[in-house]
Chains A and B, each alone.
Chain A
Amino acid sequence: MTPRKPVTDWATDWDHLDPRWREDPYPIWDKLRRSCPIAHTERYQGAYLPTRYEDVRAIANDSTHFSSRRVIVREVRPEPMPSPPITSDPPHHKPYKQLLLPLFTAEAMTGLEPKARAICNELINKFIADGHCDAAQQYTRHIPVKVITHMLGVPETDSDQFIKWIHEILELGITDDVVLMQAVREMAEYFADHIAQRRDNPERRNRSKDDLISQLLEARIDGKLLDDQHLNGMLRLLLIAGIDTTWSGMGAALWHLARTPVDRDRLITEPALMPMAIEEFLRAFSPVTMAREVVKDTEIGGCPIKAGNMVLLSFPAANRDPAVFRDADKVIIDRKENRHFAFGLGIHRCVGSNLARLEMTVAVEEWLKRIPRFTLAGDAAWSEGTVRGPRQLPIKFSS
């Protein structure tokens, strides 16, 4: 891979793959918000970067000018691959979203809680005697992927394969189209196989009738079953969207607690604060950045927006906007007013938000029960691309 040209002016030449962005993006966004709140770059065939909360809201709520048919800013723009509903605009979006929503309600998710807690404890068992671990590689990385295999009804041992595909799609795929398409093809074959197993074998279908693959096989829109392309696209979405994202959210929470004993001890003595603390971790370290494609000229926050450009829809930048959040750069685990956009907003609000919250809560709670005192044993390494979280998180502890 050729080295990237370093950014010299973030307002006119921003690049979310620049190493400085990966290390610490917050000062970059803070400065832009004050000087050029909708930045632009000629990279990626042209893309905008809004950093103000209200501008992000305006764009998310305007599907007339901002299409979701492409949701990742990449070097190239191949034909969009439909993964409904995330890549759908009105009026096609709603029926697909309404198929998924009942499967992901908070109530539906509570059934997964014992399984999620067991997964966390099995992981902790493997390293607790060592007195140290890489929490990103040995703990947080494995939790969401194991839970999703359970939900999809596929073997838990396929987890490593899923993590590899997601790395290829969300990180390497931004600049390497060949790797991206190969991962998408492999994933499609994988799901086609699981779909065929259920279609061709009534006994198998009956045994797994509650898993997501089987439920989507039975799902109908306007009385018609989903065709294979849409079915496969939805499964690809469920897999991609629920793994790196939550891995990142959990890792950032543990990273903060490892550096902030006062918050860590407070969560142990006041466990009722946990839901508020989780929301604050989601705000301060929002893992997910989405994108839109400008399909019609318009204006946002007084800035002309030209069709043909992409928009990097930075929920993490919006969530650090001091016009909306007091002490926006501070982590306040009992923050009372917190209308964060970590799960996006508008019609594309993350369908898995209840699952992500459950997993983050369980991961932090089980960790604190078993490992109440811990500190960083070195620098964390952060991911690159549109999902931000620790990929290495060295931690030491006395059990």
Chain B
Amino acid sequence: MRIRVDPDKCQGHNRCKALAPELFALDRFGNASAVGDGRVSSGLEEKARLAVANCPELAIEIVED
């Protein structure tokens, strides 16, 4: 499983970072990106889904490998 954040959609609500801090990084404006190559390590899948389910901008996507 991998996550992708669309930088054009993200508006820095920070919901993903609050729910899944291991999976998201923030820039100096508070906008999010996936940590590393976006791979979701085992055990964090539920957190990844929560991040998707709480992003008001629909900016996060889960890609199943």
Partner of A354 from B14, B54, B56, B58 at Cβ < 8 Å: B14
Task: Flag if A340 contacts B50 (CB, 8 Å).
Answer: no
* Chain A residues with CB under 8 A of B12: 101, 349
Q: Report the stretch among A43-51, A66-74, A79-87, A331-339 that lies at the interface.
A: A331-339
Interface size class of A (residues with CB under 8 A): 20 to 34
Smallest CB separation, B44 vs chain A (Å): 16
Q: Tell me whether B14 and A106 are in contact (CB under 8 A).
A: yes
Q: How many residues of B contact A (CB 8 A)?
A: 18
A327-347 interface code vs B (CB 8 A; 1 in, 0 out): 000000000111111010111
For the residues of A in contact with B, the DSSP-based class is helix
- A-side contacts of B11, CB under 8 Å: 345-347, 349
Q: How far is the CB of A103 from chain B (nearest CB, A)?
A: 10
Please indicate which of the listed interface residues A98, A341, A349 has the most CB atoms of chain B within 10 Å of its own CB.
A349
Asked if B20 lies at the interface with its beta carbon under 8 angstroms from chain A, I say: no
- Which residue of A101, A336, A345, A346 contacts B30 across the interface (Cβ within 8 Å)? A101
The dominant DSSP class at the B interface is loop
Q: With A101-B29, A346-B11, A354-B30 as given contacts, are A275 and B53 in contact (CB-CB < 8 Å)?
A: no
B53/A338 in contact, CB under 8 A: yes
A348's nearest neighbour on chain B, judged by CB, is: B11
Interface residues in A138-191 (C-beta closer than 8 Å to B):
none
In the complex, what residues of A have CB within 8 A of residue B55's CB? 339
A105 within 8 A of B: yes
Tell me which of B28, B30, B57, B58 contacts A106 (CB under 8 A): B30
* Chain B interface (Cβ < 8 Å from any Cβ of A): 11-15, 17-18, 26, 28-30, 50, 53-58
